[in-house]
Amino acid sequence: MSARTPFPKVFWVANTIEVLERFAYYGIYFGFGIYMESLGYSRGQLGVVQSIFLMLSYVTPVISGTMADRYGFKKVLVVSYLAYLPSILLLILTRSFSGIALTMLTIGLAAGIFKPLVSGTVRARNGALDDTPELVNSDPYGDGWMFEVVPDEAAAVEGLLSADEYQQVQESAG
């Protein structure tokens, strides 16, 4: 394996976006109770909205992870942000309980879409490929490696094929 190279700008952009998304998520969630109280809503009403918000943000990743596998990470990430931004802006303008509830549910849905999309950390990338990208084809298991990823959960890589198993599948497929 070649020496490690510095991370590219896209790595820092992606990680910055992830951190800002988490700040937005928790900032909205924690500040939401204060906001609801200032508008005169009860704790019971707050509890209903926050419960459904949490349910959506924790159930949706099951579906959105599948969508990301099928349609691609970038497309699903764009959908998440297209749901997030208008919802956050609408929350500022909305005063009715039904409007606030619908807006928070949309934010919970967008957060749920976003959650499974970032499930590992790129630890290293192969800078040699900048000058000689053909290494990916000529020596994919040696000098042509692209990056090292550390999964957030070890279970994420359980059941994946080894290089030899993958080769056997390719050969048997024709």
- Mean pLDDT over the full length of the chain: 82
- Quote the tokens at residue 87: 């919802």
* pTM for the model: 0.54
Residue 83 and residue 69 in contact, taking contact as beta carbons nearer than 8 Å: no
Looking at residue 154, what is its pLDDT?
66
Residue-range domain boundaries for the chain: 9-117, 121-173
Looking at residue 135, what is its pLDDT?
92
Q: Closest Cα to residue 114, out of 76, 66, 69, 152? A: 76
DSSP string across 32-56: HHHHHHHTT--HHHHHHHHHHHHHH
Looking at residue 138, what is its pLDDT?
93
Compute the average pLDDT of residues 82-87: 86
Q: Is the pLDDT of residue 128 over 70?
A: yes
More confident residue, 7 or 33: 33
- Helix (H) or strand (E) segment spanning residue 150: strand 147-151
